[in-house]
Structure 1
Amino acid sequence: MNSDHDGPDRDHQRPAGVSDETVEALGALSKALETTERARGHLYSFHQLTGGADLELGHAVELLRRAGHHRSADRVEKEILGRNVIPGHWTFQIIESYNDTYYEPFKALERSVLNELAEGRDHLYEAEMKEARRTHGHRDHTARPDSPGTPT
């Protein structure tokens, strides 16, 4: 770590012997994983929205019954309430399958490649971009949160 704190910390410095091409490739790999994280978040949104809709559907069934529309309430309850969103699956099962089949293996592989090629150091591409783009000496362009002069 630089004693003057004017540069990235050790965890964000390129290890000796790591090429520009490797840093770029690791950046692309991380970006792909970040996109997968976003996709996974959308799955959780889908899960929560669908679950919320099903709960509201239950409320609609109760209201239909209270209003005397028992036949309609029965149809909604039997045909849609608690229905699978795809054959054999509720949304939680889709998430579990996605996590087991794609997300967890991808996450583990990305970590393994980082360990193998860059001593486990993450975000090297971004750290180097920050160094290239920041204005040295400017209080809002400090290298790290612990740099002297960093606004609190």
Structure 2
Amino acid sequence: MAETENLDEGPDAAHRVPPGVDDATVEAVGAVTAAFEVVEHARGMLYAFHRLLGRADLELGDALDQLEAAGHGELADRVRADVLGRNVLDGRWTFQVVEEFDDGYHRAFADAERAVRDELLGGRRHVAEAQMKERRRTHGRPGHEALPPS
């Protein structure tokens, strides 16, 4: 539980603005975090791309087996040789694309976002959003509490 028993008193300590930090800094750090959240969304889509193409390759394998069983073995063999197991990018299957993204761009962006928070907000997360919640919620109304129950 937060340092208070009153669930309507505002953000917990982990989401309060540290002493000496101005509003412009809080907003700027929030903007960096928002940009990183877009990267996280893109990363999720990259994983969806990975899963969908893997599934498509497996389904194509099954479909080619059906084509062969239906008497179209030569055509099935041509498609199998040209498409089944093919790289989606030069020398890469999707797992390699995901790994390269995770180890490169994603890691660099995640490290940068954390460094900004660490240096300017003592590592606190979502401080700007906690301030927004305080401005937008109806204080004292059920369903608008500042904190979850303990």
TM-score by length of 1: 0.93
Q: Give the structure 1 partner of residue 64 of structure 2.
A: 61
| Structure 1 ranges of 4+ moved more than 3 A | none
How far did residue 131 of structure 1 move?
Answer: 0.5
Match of 1:2 among 1, 4, 9: 4
Which residue of structure 2 lines up, in the alignment, with residue 29 of structure 1? 32
Q: Deviations 1:109-150 (Å, cap 9, x if unpaired)?
A: 111211111011110100000001111110111000027xxx
Q: Secondary structure at the match of 1:26?
A: helix
Q: In the alignment, what sits opposite 1:86?
A: 89
Q: Which residues of structure 1 form unaligned runs of 5+?
A: 148-152
CA apart distance, 1:3: 4.0
For the residues of structure 1 that align with 2:78 and 2:132, how far apart are their CA atoms? 59
1:57-86: CA deviation from partner (whole Å, max 9, x where unpaired): 100111011011111010011000000111
Which amino acid is the alignment partner of residue 97 of structure 1? E
> Where does the alignment leave 5 or more consecutive residues of structure 2 unmatched?
none
Hey, what does 2:113 align to over in structure 1? 110
Percent identity between the two aligned chains? 52
Match of 1:95 in 2: 98
One-letter amino acid matched to 1:35: V
Report SS of the residue matched to 1:138. Answer: coil
Which letter does structure 2 place at the counterpart of 1:11? A
Distance in 2 separating the partners of 1:20 and 1:2:
24
Q: Give the secondary-structure state (helix, strand or coil) at the position aligned to 1:130.
A: helix
1:146 aligns with 2:133: no
Give the C-alpha shift of residue 100 in structure 1: 1.2
Which runs of structure 2 are paired with 1:8-47 in the superposition (5 Å)? Answer: 8-47=11-50
Offset at residue 45 of structure 1 (A): 0.5
